[in-house]
């Protein structure tokens, strides 16, 4: 975990590891907002070795499928690697819906947020772990 920018850790929870890197959940319960932070000195997607890029794409797809399958109130995804504020390469996968506070604009820079209440984050992580376990069984 020592490879993750302090700025990212101040606004997110480190909840585990994926094949492509550390998995963070942004501390904003308005959106299911995941971030993947590969270990290494990377600032741009093209800096990642090709095998790591492929793992990242697979992990992005899994997080995207999780949001759309298990969180039906979110029908749209925002995905991207901006890196203007935190130059360390990290990738966002965010669930969106019409009527969310930032809609139709981007969530990046939108200031409205809500902290996770007791049990909410744990429930989200458990649902994600179950989804990933199901996927691993199908692929294995």
Per-residue pLDDT tens over the stretch 12-60: 999 999 999 999 999 999 999 999 999 999 999 999 999 999 999 999 9
103/5 Cα distance (integer angstroms): 28
Across the chain, the runs of DSSP E, i.e. the strands, are 12-18, 21-26, 33-37, 76-80, 91-96
Would the pTM count as exceeding 0.85?
yes
Residue, of 135 and 18, whose pLDDT is higher: 18
Domains of the chain: 6-139 (3.30.428.10)
CB-based contacts of 100: which residues, under 8 Å, 6+ apart?
30, 31, 107
CA distances from 62 to 9, 37, 53, 139 (A): 22, 15, 14, 12
108/56 Cα distance (integer angstroms): 21
Per-residue pLDDT tens over the stretch 61-77: 999 999 999 999 999 99
- Residue the block writes with tokens 């975990």: 1
Per-residue pLDDT tens over the stretch 92-110: 999 999 999 999 999 988 8
């Amino acid at each position: 975990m020592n490879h993750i920018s302090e700025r990212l850790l101040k606004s997110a929870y480190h909840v585990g590891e994926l094949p492509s890197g550390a998995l963070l959940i942004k501390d904003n319960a308005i959106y299911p907002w995941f971030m993947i932070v590969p270990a290494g000195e990377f600032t741009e997607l093209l800096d990642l070795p090709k095998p790591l890029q492929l793992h990242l794409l697979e992990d992005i797809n899994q997080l995207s499928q999780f949001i759309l399958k298990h969180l039906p109130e979110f029908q749209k995804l925002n995905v991207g690697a901006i890196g203007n504020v935190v130059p360390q390469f990290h990738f966002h996968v965010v669930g969106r819906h019409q009527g969310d506070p930032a809609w139709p604009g981007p969530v990046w820079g939108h200031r409205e947020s809500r902290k996770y209440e007791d049990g909410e984050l744990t429930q989200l992580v458990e649902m994600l772990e179950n989804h990933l376990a199901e996927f691993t069984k199908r692929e294995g």
